[in-house]
Structure 1
Amino acid sequence: MTMRAWLDFLLYDWLKAEQLCSRPRFEDHGRETFSQVLDTCERIAREKYAPFNRLVDTQEPHFDGERVTLPQATHEAWAAYAGSGMLAAAQDYELGGMQLPYTVEAAANAFFAKASVSINAGLLTVGNANLLMAHGTPLQQQVFAHREFKGEWAGTMCLSEPQAGSGLADVATRAVPDGEGSADDPLGPRYRLFGNKMWISAGEHELTENIVHLVLAKIPGPDGKLVPGTRGISLFICPKHLVRPDGQLSGERNDVALAGLNHKCGWRGTTNTLLNFGEGRWQPQGAPGAVAYLVGQPGQGLACMFHMMNEARIAIGMAATMLGMAGYEASLAYAKDRKQGRALSQKDPSSPPVALIEHADVKRMLLAQKAYSEGALALMLYCARLVDEQHTGTPEAAAEAALLLEVLTPIAKSWPSEWCLEANSLAIQVHGGYGYTRDFPVEQYWRDNRLNMIHEGTHGIQALDLLGRKVVMQGGAGLKLLATRINQTIEAALQQPALALYANSLAQAVQRLGAATKAAWATGQPEDALANTTPYLQAAGHVVLAWMWLDVACSAGQAPADRQAGILAATRYFHLYELPKVGPWLEVVASREAVCRDMQPEWF
């Protein structure tokens, strides 16, 4: 099944996306307009992104000490993407948006991630603007967010520092009030920033006339010291070029300096930067420090930034998914074309070799890739559907969607990042020795995907978030809701004899997950409960993906015969080969196995 056919099945046959058009916000739309958007994005991705995926991998961004140079193809891809209106796809008509459901927006953007994840398609710019629409003042929205939605300006998120990656409590960038009258600036309370930010994607380029940096920094207390921990963190808008309240550039460069480019194993087409704020290269408005404007209230910066971080985590999950899909399609095509070996029953060495896809173990590797990537895409679109429910559903449905999304977000970010990376590894394996060469794209897909287990919160951070916060918040209400939704699918599957076996195995896995969660927290001590968070994350992710496949299989009855057979085969594979892994993972969680916690540095 082609990616487009799978997308259409998930959108229309499984998620019933057309039903969203009965809601006032989406009443102008229907399957026809949704398909037009998908067609446009598929075409742009095919023409402006895919042909240059290898180019941007081999011709990395170059910094000559003054400016960054990107391939012309990247400029043309950005222009085509911005011109498509996709940066404002979900926004109000008054902002030049399309008022598209997020479900359709996510599906359309999947084409770009698959064609070339390394060419910037606006992921951070949209997230930056959406944060400002949620937490910025009306003027901040008008001056910054609206220009980002038009593609005239780009956006970043500046969290990590050289000494503080995942540990944001140790952020040391300082924000000092900018003298007399700074509190009354029309763009917001004005500060001067001093510090360094590391791993900033798209932190410097010339694709747009301005870059809007959203920066986490701490405001010194009355004693001049920074407040320790995350409660002292505030959020600031810090533009590359200074802006007047009417939204026009002032002509003055802000003191945000590119200190250097980070050279990564993947995502090479996107600049990744170390930025210095207030180092003195420029003196905007005649004073030291980078001019910045407070967003929201002092000390609430991390809470505001989570709006963008959670959006980015789902986007990274989608990027990982589509890289897995790209590798799957490449290795499937190769396995059909490449002749290698003979059937086990064939004793005549002079007989012609058969295609790789005729061998059972190659089918195993392809089935795994299909189950991982197509299942992950189902999860990502399910999460996108929850976003639409959260924003446009009834109050009760919106509250449930928000709660379920809280639990699923760490899984949606991390599961594709781990298992679609494994799919890329299997794609290399299917190619054999050719897989390690640049004659085929699968080695690049693996390198690009390896970053996603770190991007927007490492695997370990997602695991801590899931077991340490999400499944126990509100007395475990989120986990109970997840179990309720899964049990609804199990009940439906039990009515179909072909799915009953899988329904029963999933029911047992859900039971084990709930019991392990309780056992992990039985002592009430975080040190005991959180000693095995990653196995818990892996188990929870596999339970969720088994649910996705079973739910999709319940909707497969009206599909064409080959598509239905493929769905049932992938469901069978996942439940028989993958779901059993949940048991060993949860054993160490439930027993609160302490070897990882107790291991001493000198024992290594």
Structure 2
Amino acid sequence: MDKFIHHRNLEFLLYELLDTEALLQRPRYHEQSRDVYDSILETARNIARKYLAPHYQKGDANEPEYVDGTTRLIPETKVAWDVIRDAGFLAAHCDEAEGGLQLPEVIFRSATAYFHAANGPTTWYPFLTIGVINLIRAFGSQEQKERYLGALMEGRFAGTMALTEPGQGSALADIKTRAELQDDGTWRIFGQKMFISAGEHDLTGNIIHMVLAKTKGAPPGVKGISLFIVPKFVVGDDGVPGARNDVALAGLLHKMGSRNTSSTVLSFGEKGGAVGYLIGGIGSGLACMFQMMNEARIGVGMNAAALASRGYLYSLDYARDRSQGRLPSNKDPVSPQVPLVAHPDVRRMLLAQKAYAEGALALCLYASSLFEDEHTHPDESRRVSAGVLLGLLTPVVKSWSARYGCEANELAIQVLGGSGYIREHPVEQLYRDQRLNPIHEGAEGIHGIDLLARKVTLRDGEALRLFTEQVRRTGAEAEQVLSVSRHAHALRRQLDALLAVTDGITALARNDPDKGLANATVYLDAFGRVTVAWLWLSQGLVAARALEGSPNDADRLFYKGKLQAAAYYFDWELPQVEPQWRLLTEGNSIPYDMMDTWY
């Protein structure tokens, strides 16, 4: 029941790969300790086991209901919200002086892994709220902070992000929601938003919507977008919710997965205009909202890694417990059946899941460590570099984890065979929940274009240079260690290929953007494969060095598993970039040249 995240693997990533204890030397964390971090993780683990996992399948079978203009959730969702709130996780990023936990980002994200693995749909309510808290802390006026932050941190209010519209998905530059300035300095918001997760529910007394809209006379495109705080109930000077704002639930949407997260259509301004408050300045809405969007993209990656981890661990247990058939070498029909894990193809599927799940978790936590460095590293140049590198890798973190999380959860179903498709086992639900992640917070195509058209060329390629330096540094170390040296050589070859392809395809994109970016999703996937290969090389290097010492029996087996997963990734997964490089180098235009009338 509590096998959601491999706890030993999480410790390995935090303390052996990322050296999280080094954060204790920074002023913000010098009063904390490894014991504090372990206690936080144990609290998260217990909440996941006791308050999230038990209603995972119930929430799937009993979707939110539209009742009297609001959304009713199963009662266990409210209990979980209250427990997460009382444990302080809504204020995880806030300073202790603000009433927060003052947690390092990498510890906070590790705690959320337990929540996402146990019950991702319920988990989205608090974590969207955390995004709103961070957004208001960063860009809100003093008055806005005083009016909203306390209630959000204490869980009396919840939060959402309202971007997408019925006529506009990822093309935010073309949104139609408008904002009209009033004599009292407030705004009236008119429009409709769609696919708004947690847009309506009965968990809290108020919901704070962060709404993108265009002001009168705003320039076309993204420069005309502003951001507004639009509460469900207008909040008075005393901080108490008052009259119902002109925000209406127009309907609930019914998704294939993550069903206990309400997905809503919201109408603003049907009765004269929803009261809104400008945050961050006119025309800076998308720039501000990108903070929450990028946090959410890392969150989607973590959700994907967590779902993959739970599916992997569940199918591993099943394969060890379930006896089925005999090995091909055994011709005795009356001999005992062997466990599924003894069959070579099952071992392949389990090892692939391990490579995807643990690779994705390493990727998400590495990104979280960059976020931490960007904000708290004592060296200003390191802060800047961390932010640049995080910007480059954010589309990779989200997209690679989501794509290969789906692969992992599909394999979990396959390991269970016919039992994988029935609801008595959770793996079919894990897959359905996982399948939303490749679209949540932007489809792969959007992130591919972002990576290729902007991130790799940003600051004259500074981010890509920083990434290259990191990879080459690890490779140079690994080349000196026999058990991983061949992986280092393979990674060096593919990194060189990535750089060469990047030069060619960015040049094409400058001259012919449509054709040059047509294969951006292939580039994104290949970039992700190289990135995760680097992280598997890093994990293998740490494991190899640990085995040179005198680890106990359990650790010895754990490290050997790491080395085997690294070998699998380098022999089975990384070589798949070869045909991708060829397509990208040739500028293969077969899909691009396809005509609508030919379908």
Normalising TM by the smaller chain, what interval? over 0.9
3-state SS of 1:369 partner: helix
Structure 2 residue aligned with 1:95? 98
Residue aligning to 2:288: 304
Q: Report deviation, 1:69.
A: 1.0
**Distance in 2, Cα, partners of 1:516 & 1:150:** 50
- Render the CA deviation track for 1:336-369: whole Å, top value 9, x for unaligned: 1111110111111111111110011100000000
Conserved in 2, the CA contact under 8 Å of 1:519 and 1:591?
no
User: Which SS does the other structure have where 2:331 is aligned?
Assistant: coil
Which residue matches 1:197? 193
Match of 1:278 among 241, 245, 269: 269
State, as a whole percentage, how many aligned pairs show the same letter: 46
Q: Report if aligned partners of 1:130, 1:145 keep a CA contact under 8 Å in 2.
A: no
Which of 228, 231, 240 aligns to 1:236? It is 228
CA contact (8 A) 2:69 2:248 kept: no
Range moving further from structure 2, 437-446 or 524-533? 524-533
Q: Which runs of 5+ in 2 are unaligned?
A: none
Alignment partner, residue 313 of structure 2 = 329
Distance 1:134 1:590 in 2: 42
Q: Kindly state the Cα deviation for residue 146 of structure 1 after the two structures are TM-superposed.
A: 2.8
The structural deviation recorded for 1:522 is: 2.6
Shift of 1:244: 1.4
CA distance in 1, matches of 2:83, 2:424: 28
| Counterpart residue number, 1:339 | 323
Per-residue CA deviation, residues 515-547 of structure 1 (Å, 9 max, x unaligned), is: 011111233222232110011001000000000
Aligned ranges for residues 101-120 of structure 1 at < 5 Å? 101-120=104-123
Moved more, 62-71 or 109-118: 62-71
Which residue of structure 2 lines up, in the alignment, with residue 561 of structure 1? 556
| Residues 88-109 of structure 1: per-residue CA shift (max 9 Å, x gap) | 1121112111211111011011
Aligned to 1:355: 339
Asked if the contact 2:304–2:437 (Cα under 8 Å) also holds between the matched residues in 1, the reply is yes
- In structure 1, which of residues 470, 473, 489 is the aligned counterpart of residue 455 of structure 2? 470
1:585-604, CA deviations, whole angstroms, 9 ceiling, x for partnerless residues?
Answer: 12211221122222111111
Amino acid at match of 1:139: E
8 Å CA contact 2:64, 2:71 repeated in 1: yes
Amino acid at match of 2:261: T
> Which residue of structure 1 lines up, in the alignment, with residue 352 of structure 2?
368
TM-score, with structure 2 as normaliser? 0.96
Q: Is the 8 A contact 2:452 2:506 kept in 1?
A: no
Q: 2:424 aligns with which of 439, 446, 449?
A: 439
Uncovered stretches (5+) of structure 1, i.e. residues with no partner: 184-189, 281-287
Per the alignment, residue 550 of structure 1 pairs with: 537
Quote how far apart the aligned CAs of 1:552 are.
1.1
Equivalent position SS for 2:168: coil
- After superposition, the C-alpha distances for 1:233-263 in whole angstroms (9 at most, x for unaligned) are 11000000001133222x2000000001000
1-structure distance, mates of 2:293, 2:149: 17
CA contact (8 A) 2:198 2:264 kept: yes
The offset of 1:66, in angstroms, is 2.5
Match of 1:284 in 2: none
Residue number in structure 1 paired with 2:468: 483
Q: How does 1:111-190 map to 2 (within 5 A)?
A: 111-121=114-124, 122-178=126-182, 180=183, 182-183=184-185, 190=186
Which has the higher mean CA deviation after the structures are superposed, 521-530 or 498-507?
521-530
Q: State the distance in 2 between where 1:392 and 1:219 align.
A: 36
Question: Which residue of structure 2 lines up, in the alignment, with residue 36 of structure 1?
Answer: 39
Note the C-alpha offset of 1:473. Answer: 0.9
1:263 maps onto 2:267 in alignment: no
Secondary structure at 1:531's aligned position in 2?
Answer: coil
Secondary structure of 1:99's partner? Answer: coil
Deviates more, 1:493-502 or 1:88-97: 88-97
Give SS of 2:251's match: strand
C-alpha distance in structure 2 between counterparts of 1:521 and 1:450, whole Å: 31
Q: Secondary structure at the match of 1:344?
A: coil
Mapped to 2, the partners of 1:67 and 1:387 lie a distance apart of 36
Which position in structure 2 is the counterpart of 1:404? 389
Give 1:38 shift: 0.5
Q: Following the alignment from structure 2 to structure 1, what is the Cα–Cα distance between the partners of residues 167 and 70?
A: 26
Q: Which amino acid aligns with 2:415?
A: V
> How far is 1:554 from its partner?
1.2
How far did 1:67 drift?
2.4
Structure 1 residue 332: deviation in Å? 0.4
1:536 aligns with 2:532: no
Show the counterpart of 2:82. 79
Of residues 68, 73, 90 in structure 1, which corresponds to 2:71? 68
Q: Is the 8 A contact 1:129 1:146 kept in 2?
A: no
C-alpha spacing 1:194/1:383, structure 2 compared with 1 (3 Å): same
**Alignment partners' CA distance in 2, 1:167 and 1:411:** 20
Q: Decide which of 571, 582, 594 is 1:599's aligned counterpart.
A: 594
Give the TM-score, by structure 1 length: 0.95
1:57 aligned to 2:60?
Answer: yes
Deviation at 1:126, TM superposition (A): 0.6
- Offset of 1:378 from its aligned partner? 0.7
Q: SS at the partner of 1:385? A: helix
Shift of 1:228: 2.5
1:206 corresponds to which of 193, 202, 205: 202
The residue type equivalent to 2:220 in the other structure is: P
Q: CA RMSD in A?
A: 1.1
**2:165, 2:193 within 8 Å by CA — same for their partners in 1?**
yes
Contact 2:178 2:213 in 1 (8 A): yes
Structure-2 residue corresponding to 1:527: 514
Q: SS where residue 588 of structure 2 aligns?
A: coil
The DSSP-based 3-state class of the residue aligned with 1:194 is: strand
Paired residue secondary structure (2:210): strand
Contact 1:102/1:384 (8 A) holds in 2: yes
User: Matched residues in 1 for 2:43 and 2:142: separation?
Assistant: 32
Deviations 1:378-404 (A, max 9, x none): 111111111111111110111111111
The equivalent residue for 1:187 is: none
- Whole-Å separation in 2 of the counterparts to 1:12 and 1:296: 38
The yes-or-no answer on 1:18 pairing with 2:21 is yes
Query: C-alpha separation between the residues in 2 aligned to 1:507 and 1:528?
Result: 29
Whether the 8 Å contact between 1:521 and 1:528 is mirrored in structure 2 is no
Residues 153 and 211 in structure 1, CA contact (< 8 A), matched pair in contact too: yes
Is the CA contact (8 Å cut-off) linking 1:520 and 1:528 kept in structure 2? no
